[in-house]
């Protein structure tokens, strides 16, 4: 089959998603403020792992780890993850403690679109640490019949 | 997903993407090999692969007595790891006394109606998919081995014909994408070779388990063709052809696909 | 009855930090999606996941609709004494599920 013919046949119909009001970078900033108040998170100690390019946004593996001795006097109390563009800025809030041994949390999230993700860790001394990552979501090619 | 109404992104550029480092004589690639590392890991880890939740459910249903006969699958078939090993690798097949091929879900429904005296389960029903995943999981890592049965030839030929037929508003055939352009990119996604190695699959797009039929319907919708109803014989014909084409490849059920 | 898969070691040495992974069947319906009839499908999510070890809290997660269907969670815990880890999921529409795993610590 001739490739040019093929390209002609598939000439572009792109219907952009008309989603419900999406969370915005502002909404994310608001949501972060609710959790950390007026504190300013320091970049560092947090490692946020998400694939930079995902084949499908509906199930994206995500892992957050925080450098910490996880002792009674020095440990991570919470890990929060936020996103810019899903309808809601909060993704999850996890509670940890010295008993965790390691400040590492993994889950899978939904991403409606390419966007920035932010992870914030709260340590037992009341400080906040953060890391961000950008994820590019490619559109699935062959979708279900539309509703 | 978030109101993605119709994202038929066929604006695409085919990017000759991978320098496929293919090893050995068999150059066929399962869709597994076209996935990123994160998804391969998800499929490989039995406690991280969401499809395994359905296999677990299928195992529970296997032991549950249903229908007027009040019999469970296990009452007749005992332990599935022994009795169902290799079965999925040779379906679709023509059941005893029948004259048309049935796929695995069709065979399970025959057992429901004839042997359990119960109602057949509707297409894409969760329990039907779970039973099918449980049965097919018993053939994981076995090679696809279509049965020798000359009565199947005509159906398989029909499948091959459908595979090459141009259809839909985009006037494309399965072969144009999956034979001529496999390995190239369509809207950022690698076009796989369309081997039915992992069905039923956990497709991330669906956020659920689904059958090969449902997957084929997605492709038909993708080329803007009218998808046949879920009980249409065309699907079984295509499946017969695809299984023959994938003969000798390993089953992965439950596979994860984007 | 819920379908749940848990991956945790059966045994651990005292002081080991062990990984616990859990997967549960659940649609995590966001409440933002229109159904086939055009109307929004009501939200139905797991809101909270908790883990205890012999009754002591070891981990908790508040989930949002942005957590993928069939939620997967992995976390760590220090093995202090033999006992039972109880994992609990609760959410919309009265959803409640529980899974216990025993870990022997020597």
Q: Is residue A16 part of a domain?
A: no
User: In this predicted structure, which of B28-37, C30-39, C40-49 has the lowest mean pLDDT?
Assistant: C30-39
| Predicted structure pTM score | 0.89
Q: Which residue of C has its CA nearest to A20?
A: C32
How many contacts does A have with C, using Cβ atoms within 8 A? 102
Q: Is residue A5 part of a domain?
A: no
3-class state of residue A82 by DSSP: strand
Q: Which residue of C has its CA nearest to B48?
A: C23
Q: Residue A103 CB: number of other CB atoms within 10 A?
A: 26
* Domain extent at residue A88: 25-139
- The total number of structural domains that make up chain A: 1
Question: Cα(B64)–Cα(B57) distance, rounded to whole angstroms?
Answer: 11
How many contacts does A have with B, using Cβ atoms within 8 A? 134
CB pair distance less than 8 Å for B50 and C70: yes
- The total number of structural domains that make up chain C: 1
Q: So what's the pLDDT on residue B16?
A: 32
Report H helices in chain A.
3-9, 25-36
3-class state of residue B137 by DSSP: helix
Q: How far is B52 from chain C (nearest CA, A)?
A: 8
The partner residue sitting opposite A51, judged by closest CB among B2, B36, B180, is B36
Q: So what's the pLDDT on residue B21?
A: 38
Q: Residue B79 CB: number of other CB atoms within 10 A?
A: 11
Mutate to test the interface with C, among B44, B49, B50 (most CBs of C within 10 A): B50
Report H helices in chain B.
37-44, 51-62, 73-77, 80-83, 104-110, 126-137, 153-164, 174-175, 212-222, 233-245
Q: Is residue A126 part of a domain?
A: yes
Q: Which residue of A has its CA nearest to B225?
A: A145
CB pair distance less than 8 Å for C33 and B207: no
Q: Candidates 3.30.413.10, 3.30.70.270, 1.10.760.10, 3.40.50.720; correct CATH number of B28-258?
A: 1.10.760.10
> In which band, very low, low, confident or very high, does the pLDDT at A86 lie, cut at 50, 70 and 90?
confident
Q: What are phi and psi of A101, to 5 degrees?
A: 75, -45
pLDDT tens, position by position, A113-129: 888 999 999 999 999 99
Q: So what's the pLDDT on residue C10?
A: 96
For chain A, what is the total number of helices (H) and then of strands (E)? 2, 9
Residue B152 burial (C-beta neighbours within 10 Å; 0-12, 13-18, 19+):
buried
CA dihedral of residues B225, B228, B230, B233 (deg, nearest 10) = -130
The partner residue sitting opposite C66, judged by closest CB among A63, A86, A102, is A86
Question: Cα(B13)–Cα(B188) distance, rounded to whole angstroms?
Answer: 8
User: In this predicted structure, which of A19-33, A60-74, B149-163 has the lowest mean pLDDT?
Assistant: A19-33
Task: Using an 8 Å CB-CB cutoff, list residues of chain A that contact chain C.
Answer: 19-20, 58-60, 63, 83, 86-88, 90-102, 104-111, 147
CB pair distance less than 8 Å for B204 and A16: no
Q: So what's the pLDDT on residue A22?
A: 61
Q: Which residue of C has its CA nearest to A70?
A: C78
> What's the angle, vertex CA B254, arms to CA B249 and CA B257, rounded to 5?
85
CATH number (domain holding residue C49): 2.60.40.10
Q: Which residues of A touch C48 (CB under 8 A)?
A: none
Count how many residues are written for chain C.
106
Mutate to test the interface with C, among A92, A113, A118 (most CBs of C within 10 A): A92
* Domain extent at residue C14: 4-105
- pLDDT above 50 for A13: no
CATH number (domain holding residue A108): 2.60.40.2470
- pLDDT above 90 for C66: yes
**Mean pLDDT for back-to-back runs of 10 residues, chain B (258 residues):** 33 33 71 92 95 98 98 98 98 96 98 98 97 98 96 97 95 96 86 97 94 95 90 96 98 96
Q: So what's the pLDDT on residue B3?
A: 32
Q: Which residues of C touch A110 (CB under 8 A)?
A: 28, 30, 65-68
Taking the Cβ of residue C72 and every Cβ of chain B, the question of whether any pair is shorter than 8 Å is answered with yes
Q: Is residue A127 part of a domain?
A: yes
Question: Cα(B35)–Cα(B258) distance, rounded to whole angstroms?
Answer: 8
This complex has an ipTM of: 0.94
B177 part of the active site: no
The partner residue sitting opposite B57, judged by closest CB among C3, C30, C72, is C3
Q: Is residue A14 part of a domain?
A: no
């Amino acid at each position: 089959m001739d490739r040019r013919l093929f390209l002609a046949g598939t000439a572009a119909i792109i219907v952009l998603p008309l989603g419900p009001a999406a969370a915005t970078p502002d909404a994310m900033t608001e949501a972060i403020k609710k959790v950390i108040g007026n504190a300013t998170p320091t970049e560092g100690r947090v490692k946020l792992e998400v694939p930079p390019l995902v084949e499908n946004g509906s199930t994206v593996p995500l892992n957050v780890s925080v450098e910490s001795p996880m002792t009674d006097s020095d440990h991570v109390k919470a890990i929060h993850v936020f996103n810019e563009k899903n309808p809601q800025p909060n993704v999850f809030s996890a509670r940890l403690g010295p008993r965790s041994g390691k400040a590492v949390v993994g889950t899978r999230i939904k991403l409606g679109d390419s966007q920035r993700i932010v992870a914030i860790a709260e340590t037992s001394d009341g400080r906040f640490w953060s890391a961000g990552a950008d994820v590019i979501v490619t559109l699935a090619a062959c979708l279900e019949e539309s509703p | 997903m978030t109101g993605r109404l119709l994202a038929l992104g066929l604006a695409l550029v085919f990017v000759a993407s991978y320098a496929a480092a293919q090893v050995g004589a068999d150059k066929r690639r399962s869709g597994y090999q076209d996935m990123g590392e994160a998804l391969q890991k998800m499929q490989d880890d039995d406690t991280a692969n969401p499809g395994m939740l359905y296999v677990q459910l299928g195992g529970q249903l296997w032991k549950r007595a249903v229908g007027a006969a009040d019999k469970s699958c296990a009452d007749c078939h005992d332990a599935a790891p022994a009795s169902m090993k290799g079965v999925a690798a040779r379906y679709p097949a023509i059941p005893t006394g029948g004259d048309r091929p049935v796929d695995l879900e069709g065979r399970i429904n025959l057992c429901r109606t004839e042997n359990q005296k119960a109602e057949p389960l509707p297409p894409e029903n969760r329990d039907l998919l779970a039973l099918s995943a449980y049965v097919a999981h018993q053939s994981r890592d076995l090679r696809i081995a279509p049965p020798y049965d000359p009565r199947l030839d005509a159906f398989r030929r029909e499948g091959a014909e459908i595979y090459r037929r141009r259809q839909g508003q985009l006037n494309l055939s399965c072969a144009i994408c999956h034979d001529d352009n496999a390995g190239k990119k369509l809207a950022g996604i690698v076009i796989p070779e369309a081997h039915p190695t992992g069905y039923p699959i956990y497709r991330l797009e669906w956020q659920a388990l689904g059958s090969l039929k449902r997957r084929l319907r997605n492709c038909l919708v993708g080329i803007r063709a009218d998808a046949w109803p879920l009980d249409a014989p065309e699907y079984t014909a295509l499946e017969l052809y695809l299984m023959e084409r994938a003969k000798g490849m390993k089953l992965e059920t439950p596979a994860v696909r984007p | 009855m819920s379908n749940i898969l848990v991956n945790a070691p059966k045994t651990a040495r005292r002081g080991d930090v062990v990984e616990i992974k859990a997967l549960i069947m659940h649609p995590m319906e966001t409440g933002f999606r229109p159904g086939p009839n055009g109307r929004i499908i009501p939200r139905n999510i797991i809101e909270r996941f908790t883990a205890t070890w012999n009754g002591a809290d070891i981990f908790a997660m508040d989930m949002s609709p942005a957590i993928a269907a069939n939620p997967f969670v992995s976390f760590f815990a220090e093995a202090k004494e033999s006992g039972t880890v109880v994992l609990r999921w609760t959410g919309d529409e009265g959803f409640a599920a529980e899974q216990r795993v025993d870990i022997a610590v020597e």
